[in-house]
Chain A
């Protein structure tokens, strides 16, 4: 009788799950990169504020990436999130500047728009079985189009209460840097806090709730999940709904950071950055594998690269994209190689029932 159920051949010790392996790699690379940056360029990288700014400046991206990770784990994709962010930002600006504007109201609008997109897209993908790429592509078109329809030109929030919220900072007095004007404590923006709360919430949901585990199951194998008694359609629906909601929150966070809306340039390529973050964080597009901590580090890694590029003096505008691309390429290849060595033959093809890597088994489903 074959007791052969370990892959790496280390007898007695269980091989690490895919998710954990990819996560470990991502975290290691991030820290290695940051430490290297500190050593090579010192300066800004040694200041804690620089690290905290990773969260401050990219809070919306972190939240978007969380949403995208959820959808990707369920086996789908959502490329409308950038557009939704822009739309939410613009609508909130217009609302806040109008006579009836209120912070609570704008929050409702943000969440409402996000939910609406998630709802419609979720219905189409889950219940009408339309390809998620197309549906969310249309969603992106719609959102971007609506943004200009709502307001053609860039606009800034003039409402005082909101501006106060935007300028609110949580100060950590013991963390900071000495500068000409004295000791400047490290400052955390509201957006960063929201982002961290979201990450935590998503982590809990994915790990400990029924819905979260169902999302993993559905992404792992649609057909099996159905046979196991999971309501696949409902699960996919909720995944998209959730992603839409997070896009709405991201839009609001974006507004909190920038305080203005620009129909042409807001959150450009944000969806691609969010996908890249998820991938770097160890999420597989084919579904079933992914974790939110990895995604968080994925986003941080991407943005750190950007900082490094800026600091290292590569001024020409093409360097940022090229380094983004190179980083992405590195992680993609790494994932592929790592998974291949575990005998999976690289990233599995979607809808593959059972990629029985062990061709040595004579047994296989007829």
Chain B
């Protein structure tokens, strides 16, 4: 029983995002019961093309870019104690580079891979730009990234020579945004899974998590322990750059075009929201990657639910806002304090005198 308790305590920050996700699912269940059909939850295998389709699949697929960005944003928020609002603009730049290389060369996988690498490099440069401003010039992340936010999409426009180029329908790169032949699962979902696995492996087999959190919680202390805060912050921004490139590539492949003005517009806000819904502090420090990923799917599920309820796309924002407020209020420290008081009243915890655990060095709970 105590092991379960420790597991629950360690993952206590995941409670809010999980409850939110559960609530949305429940809401849809009730809605389906009311309207009399469960088509919302249906997952079908289409007859001719043999691919999975349905709302649930759409949610998983549409949240891909957001989930990947949320992962990177978590690291940046943790170490730099602020938000990067330029990810949408940087993705536009990365996407533009991607398309430019694709269109200028024959349509084969070699070119595609080079294009992806190139857009990664470009996005990493954007990340490094932000990272240098934040780590060396000690500028608050939101302010530093305001520059690229303002300028990024215009740079993308300039890269595209003032046009919104499209990709031919039969270009193999579209598999990245859609389905690989013979594969029923949409490719973006795969990419997210691979990305998540890479993150988990990196966090497990390196000290990225420990160093990032240390720098975010107390930079001076981290420095005195031999960590280089400047390098760490820069690293997180560069990692976010890779995520940005991936997001841009996926989105371009899905739409088969790049419109610098509209691609991934507003995704930075959603990414920051995902991090917050995931229970991570926007002020930096401790983080749980899984929280942000769940947060991304919560946001997507919410949007999808609203569309399924035939809410006009322009009105979606208003409803989204209300749900976000509810979720975030639930997770607010004040509310948490009151609920934990209620909790302890209900379960009447025994109070330990001042010298708690004096003799037990192992002190397991």
* A–B: direct contact at CB < 8 Å: yes
Chain A: residues with CB nearer than 8 A to chain B? 77, 124, 127-131, 133-135, 137-142, 144-146, 148-149, 152, 263, 272, 275-276, 279, 284-286, 316-322, 324-326, 328-329, 332-333, 335-337, 340, 345-347, 349-351
Q: Which 7 A-B pairs have the closest CB atoms?
A: A145-B318, A346-B138, A325-B151, A318-B154, A145-B317, A142-B321, A148-B314
Contact status of A134 and B138, CB under 8 A, knowing A144-B317, A328-B150:
no
Cβ of B133: which chain A residues have Cβ within 8 Å of it? 332-333
B147 x A325 contact (CB < 8 A) = yes
Cβ of B147: which chain A residues have Cβ within 8 Å of it? 325, 328-329, 332
Contact status of A316 and B162, CB under 8 A, knowing A135-B328, A138-B325:
yes
Cβ of A77: which chain B residues have Cβ within 8 Å of it? 142
Given A142-B321, A145-B318, A324-B151, list of 19 further CB < 8 A pairs? A128-B334, A131-B283, A138-B324, A139-B321, A140-B321, A145-B320, A148-B312, A275-B143, A286-B140, A322-B155, A324-B150, A325-B154, A326-B151, A328-B147, A332-B143, A332-B144, A335-B139, A336-B139, A350-B140
Cβ of B332: which chain A residues have Cβ within 8 Å of it? 124, 128-130
Interface of A, helix, strand, loop or mixed by DSSP: helix
Q: Point out which of B155, B157, B162, B325 has the most chain A C-beta atoms below 10 A from its C-beta.
A: B325
Q: For the complex, is B343 an interface residue (Cβ under 8 Å from A)?
A: no
Cβ of A130: which chain B residues have Cβ within 8 Å of it? 328-329, 332
Chain B nearest CB, measured from A316 CB (Å): 7
Closest to A120 in B: B325
Chain A nearest CB, measured from B359 CB (Å): 27
Q: Point out which of A141, A316, A345 has the most chain B C-beta atoms below 10 A from its C-beta.
A: A141
Encoded as 1 (CB less than 8 Å from any A CB) or 0, chain B from 268 to 309 comes to 010011001000001100000000000000000000000000
Chain B: residues with CB nearer than 8 A to chain A? 81, 83, 133, 137-140, 142-144, 146-151, 153-155, 157-158, 162, 219, 269, 272-273, 276, 282-283, 312, 314-322, 324-325, 328-329, 332-335
Chain B nearest CB, measured from A25 CB (Å): 16
Closest to B325 in A: A138
Cβ of A129: which chain B residues have Cβ within 8 Å of it? 332-334
B282 x A316 contact (CB < 8 A) = no
Interface of B, helix, strand, loop or mixed by DSSP: helix
Closest to A328 in B: B147
Chain B nearest CB, measured from A26 CB (Å): 15
Q: Report which of B143, B272, B315 forms a contact with A145, defined as CB distance below 8 A.
A: B315
A124 x B318 contact (CB < 8 A) = no
Cβ of B282: which chain A residues have Cβ within 8 Å of it? 131, 133-134
A340 x B138 contact (CB < 8 A) = yes
Closest to A279 in B: B143
Cβ of A145: which chain B residues have Cβ within 8 Å of it? 314-321
Q: Report which of A140, A286, A321 forms a contact with B151, defined as CB distance below 8 A.
A: A321
Cα distance, A142 to B316, chains bound together (Å)? 9
A134 x B157 contact (CB < 8 A) = no
A137 x B139 contact (CB < 8 A) = no
A137 x B273 contact (CB < 8 A) = yes
Cα distance, A318 to B89, chains bound together (Å)? 13
Q: Report which of A134, A319, A321 forms a contact with B276, defined as CB distance below 8 A.
A: A134
Q: Point out which of A284, A286, A328, A337 has the most chain B C-beta atoms below 10 A from its C-beta.
A: A328
Cα distance, A183 to B137, chains bound together (Å)? 51
Cα distance, A307 to B148, chains bound together (Å)? 21
Chain A nearest CB, measured from B278 CB (Å): 12
Contact status of A137 and B269, CB under 8 A, knowing A124-B329, A318-B154, A349-B219:
yes
